[in-house]
């Protein structure tokens, strides 16, 4: 049967598809709260049964936490892995919801409920595409499924599970539907994800807080030392000054730069939405480069001394800062950590000490778009949406894509249909009916093109 028959089936089956999603959304699978353990398992069982209904071999897999749902079809063609997560965020503050978050409903062309966009609605676009595929062709592509129940609680079981079942899960390419459209009616394929390094530094001076009238000027002030360290992280042009920081940072290819330029991203408009106007990063880089392809060093928190109401003339005994680094390309987070710590130690004066606390380190992920599947998928998306798809970056981190590279040795194609106003992790989360329907049609086109 032709692709058009599958797309027509998706069009005619919209009401049933929505009802299936509403049923899935009604299960309060909050993975971070032990009180919902049974509900998380119920969501896993629901998803397993949905895969079995498609004709896949599927089962729940025990982990120290919530179960994994795995499955496999007996189809032919290029072997693919599809990943999603069935757990959801807590719903607090409940009073800000306009309706019960686990009594989902369709309101004004959106599906409203916790998990609608993150990630139940997204993963169901793929399931619905396969349902229509099976109905029209009688078979399925060669798909292995991996659905996680701990993504919203830090994925503690994921890495051990991937390592233990590496041979079972390794395929040619992974597909992930947990991202969004680049802009209204313009899809994107995320091909580069920044890594993350977290560091906390604690500078200590005297054995106790000191009176500034008695000790000011003669005693070292840890806040002053810390402020000098923080100020030294960037030069006047916005470049990070840590020795060796830019080793492994690639330049954009001409083709990718042309795609990004064609997106006509409004940097000033992006900043104006939060009351700002002037980019503060490297002065010779575009706004999209700042967000997607350039590394950063940012102070996320700072403490020391007296910060309560009123005033207290004190020299604090210690001061601390939490600093994060977004990494790109082949930057080595451990090498950067060592260089950062060495730089800080050199700035610590006599009578002060410094202590470091590790808050995680993960490299960036960069997908090899020379694989013909990427261009085939980009073309397929452009056939479904009003605007051509682009290869885009992600300012944040999606750890599972990095784990698929480092543990399973395969790239991921990250395609999603969420919108900026879906309010994921917030009250009144929603997923547009258009995203749900065109998302399913998009996956049908992509699978037809690459499988």
State residue 362's pLDDT score.
87
H helix runs in 385-432, sequence order = 399-406
Q: Which CATH superfamily is domain 3-193+364-450 in?
A: Zn peptidases (3.40.630.10)
State residue 397's pLDDT score.
74
pLDDT tens-place string over residues 134-165 = 999 999 999 999 999 999 999 999 999 999 99
Average pLDDT of the residues in 244-272: 94
| Residue 274 CB burial class (10 angstroms; 0-12, 13-18, ≥19) | exposed
pLDDT tens-place string over residues 62-117 = 999 999 999 999 898 999 999 999 999 999 999 999 999 999 999 999 999 999 99
Average pLDDT of the residues in 270-295: 93
State residue 347's pLDDT score.
98
pLDDT tens-place string over residues 332-376 = 999 999 999 999 999 999 999 999 999 988 889 999 999 999 999
CATH class, range 195-249+295-362: alpha beta
Q: If we measure between CA atoms, which residue out of 14, 7, 143 comes closest to residue 74?
A: 143
- Is the model's pLDDT at 196 over the cut of 80? yes
Q: If we measure between CA atoms, which residue out of 88, 84, 122 comes closest to residue 102?
A: 88
pLDDT tens-place string over residues 383-411 = 999 999 999 998 877 889 999 999 999 99
pLDDT tens-place string over residues 101-112 = 999 999 999 999
Domain ranges of the chain: 3-193+364-450, 195-249+295-362
Average pLDDT of the residues in 255-270: 92
Average pLDDT of the residues in 255-272: 92
pLDDT tens-place string over residues 409-444 = 999 999 999 999 999 999 999 999 999 999 999 999
State residue 1's pLDDT score.
62
Beta strands in 228-367 (DSSP E): 296-304, 314-315, 318-327, 353-362, 365-366
State residue 398's pLDDT score.
83
Report yes or no: 87 and 30 within 8 Å, Cβ to Cβ. Answer: yes
């Amino acid at each position: 049967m032709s692709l058009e028959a599958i797309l027509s089936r998706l069009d005619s089956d919209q009401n049933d598809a929505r009802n299936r999603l509403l049923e899935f959304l009604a299960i309060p699978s909050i993975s971070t709260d032990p009180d919902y353990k049974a509900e998380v398992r119920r969501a896993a069982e629901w998803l397993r049964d949905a895969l079995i209904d498609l004709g896949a071999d599927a089962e729940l897999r025990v982990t120290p936490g919530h179960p994994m749902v795995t499955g496999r079809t007996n189809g032919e063609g290029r072997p693919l892995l599809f990943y999603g997560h069935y757990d959801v965020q807590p719903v607090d503050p409940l009073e800000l919801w306009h309706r019960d978050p686990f009594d989902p409903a369709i309101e004004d062309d959106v599906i409203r409920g916790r998990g609608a966009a993150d990630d139940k609605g997204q993963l169901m676009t793929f399931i619905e595409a396969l349902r229509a595929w099976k109905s029209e062709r009688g078979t399925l592509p060669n798909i292995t499924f991996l659905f996680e129940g701990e993504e919203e609680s830090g994925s503690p079981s994921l890495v051990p599970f991937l390592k233990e079942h590496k041979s079972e899960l390794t395929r040619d390419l992974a597909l992930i539907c947990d991202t969004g459209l680049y802009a209204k009616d313009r899809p994107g394929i995320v091909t580069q994800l920044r890594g993350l390094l977290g560091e906390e530094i604690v500078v200590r001076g005297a054995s106790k807080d000191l009176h500034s009238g008695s000790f000011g000027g003669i005693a070292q002030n840890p806040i002053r030392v810390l402020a000098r360290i923080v100020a030294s992280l960037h030069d006047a042009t916005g470049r990070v000054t840590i020795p060796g920081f830019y080793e492994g940072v690639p330049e954009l290819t001409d083709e990718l730069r042309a795609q990004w330029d064609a997106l006509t991203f409004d940097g000033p408009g992006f900043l104006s939405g939060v009351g700002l106007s002037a980019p503060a990063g490297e002065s010779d880089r575009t706004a999209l480069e700042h967000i997607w392809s350039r590394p950063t060093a940012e102070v996320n928190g700072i403490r020391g001394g007296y910060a309560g109401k009123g005033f207290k003339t004190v020299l604090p005994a210690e001061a601390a800062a939490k600093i994060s680094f977004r990494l790109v390309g082949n930057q080595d987070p451990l090498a950067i950590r060592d260089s950062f710590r060495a730089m800080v130690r050199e700035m610590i004066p006599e009578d002060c000490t410094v202590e470091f606390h590790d808050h995680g380190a993960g490299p960036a992920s960069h997908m090899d778009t020379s694989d013909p599947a990427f261009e085939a998928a980009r073309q397929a998306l452009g056939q479904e949406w009003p605007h051509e798809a682009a290869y885009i970056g992600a300012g944040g981190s999606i750890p599972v894509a990095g784990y698929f590279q480092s543990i399973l040795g395969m790239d991921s194609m990250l395609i999603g249909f969420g919108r900026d106003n879906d309010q994921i992790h917030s009250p009144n989360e929603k997923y547009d009916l258009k995203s749900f329907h065109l998302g399913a049609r998009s996956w049908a086109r992509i699978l037809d093109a690459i499988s």
